[in-house]
Amino acid sequence: GVSTWLVAICAHNRDMFWLIFIDWIPYQPLRHCLHFLSEVVMIHFLLQASVSSDTFPAIYIRALRTHIKLLTGRVSRLGTNSDFNDEQNFRELVACISSHQQILQVADIVGSIFSLTIFLQLAFGAAILCVCMLNIFIFADTMHKVTTIVYYLVVLMQTVPSCYQASMLEADCAKLPDAIFHCNWLDMDKRFRKLIIYFLHHTQTEITFTGVKLFRINLSTNLSIAKFSFTLYTFMNKMGFGKNVKECLE
């Protein structure tokens, strides 16, 4: 949004001053400038709403990561408190298992909330990246290329926070079984050891999120979407799609 109106101001070109909502207003500099400023404000308002929809999955996943880290710390300290007897250590283990089950329930709820959102972001992002490359290499002039390149990078980074946090959540979940294995379970009673085997078994599965149950949400998927957009652009370029459209417009 910032790059668009900055390029429009610096270009001093009539074609760069077409307004999005109100259209071109010729020969009235003051009125046009006021309309231009109002549209800049409106665009930034829409961008703020877009940023909110892009960042809330990352915030939710970050909160889950914090709870997993706290649980890992609690588990690693099991059996190390010399003031606890066997019953108290057993209750502490039960509390850890209960916390883990609650985290899994929250993860299911959170995943159902943003599953469709991230799926649409990745799907439309691939199409937008392809169109951006067509615009850069075929249609755009120098000024539009600058704006399109900035927009391309922004779209590419749109899903990175959520995918990064999802990948880090998987890594944090992988540390939980290690913490269980390295706690002081050897000095505990038989009941404690049986229950901790059950806990260890159920923590082997990492918390993962999927986009409408089609693909996992992580950095690998984000990179695959970028590769897919380039493949789609290459295919359309070889088919002469961009040149045919350009000839039709001319």
Out of 108-117, 121-130, 188-197, pick the least confident.
121-130
Statement: the pTM of the whole predicted model exceeds 0.85: no
Average pLDDT value for the chain: 81
Taking Cα atoms as reference points, which of 151, 144, 135 lies closest to residue 241?
135
Q: Where are the domains of the chain?
A: 58-249
Tokens of 112: 């159902």
Higher pLDDT, 199 or 244: 199
Residue type for position 184:
N
Asked whether the predicted pLDDT for residue 168 surpasses 90, the reply is yes
| Kind of pairing between the strands at 215-216 and 210-211 | antiparallel
Asked whether the predicted pLDDT for residue 16 surpasses 50, the reply is no
Per-residue pLDDT at 15: 47
